[in-house]
Amino acid sequence: MQKNDFTLKEIEQAGLTTKRYSGTADMFRGRLMIPLCDPNGRVIGFTARQLDDDPNAPKYINTPQTMLYDKSRHVYGLHQAKEAIRKSAIAVLVEGNLDVIASHQVGVTNVAATAGTALTEQHLKAISRFATDVRLAFDADKAGMNATERAIPIASRVGVSLSVVTIKDAKDPDELIKQDPKLWEKAIAKQQYALDWLIERYESELDTASGKGKRAFSDVLLPTIRGLHDSVEQDHYLTKVAKLLQVSPAALREKMQKDAKTPPPLKKKSAATNREESNEQHEWAKAQAHFLTITLMRTILRDFLELVDTEMYLQK
């Protein structure tokens, strides 16, 4: 064994493999393997998509979270999309890896993915390094729509302009591209500012002419408006909603301030949940210690330290 070689046992102790998941090879067998890369193009994990329709198996399986791969921070395809995003000043975010691949194949390369609907502040911060015009093209289902709603205050905190790409006559970008790539390009160009999209969505779902409908409409819109960091933008949408509901902006503002002072009810954690979180923190601390130990012992691994920042190391 050469000086810089390292054993499988050492790597497993560092938390860089999936030993804690039994039968790793079997877990990925019969699936389409898609490499996950950091912004510099270095492979940090894999996602495996089901090829056969097996209702008893998950559609996607990801590499378990490690010091290098964190799903809440990883933007799929960013290393290949970042130059196109920078040149166009537009970033298009989709849900699935295959949506990204299909888009790049037809020449629309300023597209990356969150690999799911859980869009985080870390995702948007990574994108904002290259463009502040972010357009969400999540699947046209309830999960995708709810994720878009949750993303609006996050985008306000990060300082990006968030808009929505509406996909018609298709369930996702991949399906739309298969129909006609030009439809995908037109959909991206016809984006709608996220909060305007949200107002239209609930206006079509609720009876804003009735007292009950007005209350429900304000209940779902005011928390999002309250999350806006720009006071001018916040005042604009309070006025817009007030006009739509035919109520005074002062009444909406009073309700918004009152709701802000009411803390949400706390959910009592069970003993089993507390034990699970304690075990998770313990395992994470062990992985951190092993990772640092091995990178100090084996010089061939020290390049991985460039991928680790303080926030990643202290997140548990």
Answer for the pair 95, 129: CB distance below 8 angstroms, yes or no: no
What does the alpha-carbon distance between residue 173 and residue 204 come to, in Å, rounded to a whole number? 24
Of 244, 144, 232, which is closest to residue 194 (Cα–Cα)? Answer: 144
**Residue 61 main-chain phi, psi, to 5 deg:** -130, 125
Name the pTM for this structure: 0.72
pLDDT at 3 over 50: no
Domain regions of the chain by residue span = 78-197, 206-261, 278-313
pLDDT digits (tens, 9 = 90+) for 237-273: 999 999 999 999 999 999 998 877 665 555 555 555 5
Of 109, 135, 33, 125, which is closest to residue 74 (Cα–Cα)? Answer: 125
Sign of the alpha-carbon dihedral angle for 151, 140, 86, 45:
positive
Rounded mean pLDDT, 223-228: 90
pLDDT at 316 over 60: no
Strands in 111-113's sheet, in edge-to-edge order, are: 111-113, 90-94, 133-137, 161-164, 192-193
Predicted confidence band of residue 15 (pLDDT cuts 50, 70, 90): very low
What does the alpha-carbon distance between residue 155 and residue 172 come to, in Å, rounded to a whole number? 22
Say whether domain 78-197 belongs to CATH 3.40.50.300. Answer: no
Answer for the pair 61, 47: CB distance below 8 angstroms, yes or no: yes
Do β-strands 111-113 and 133-137 pair in parallel, antiparallel, or remain unpaired? Answer: unpaired
What does the alpha-carbon distance between residue 220 and residue 104 come to, in Å, rounded to a whole number? 36
Which amino acid, residue 283?
Answer: E
Q: Name the token pair of 165.
A: 């790409």
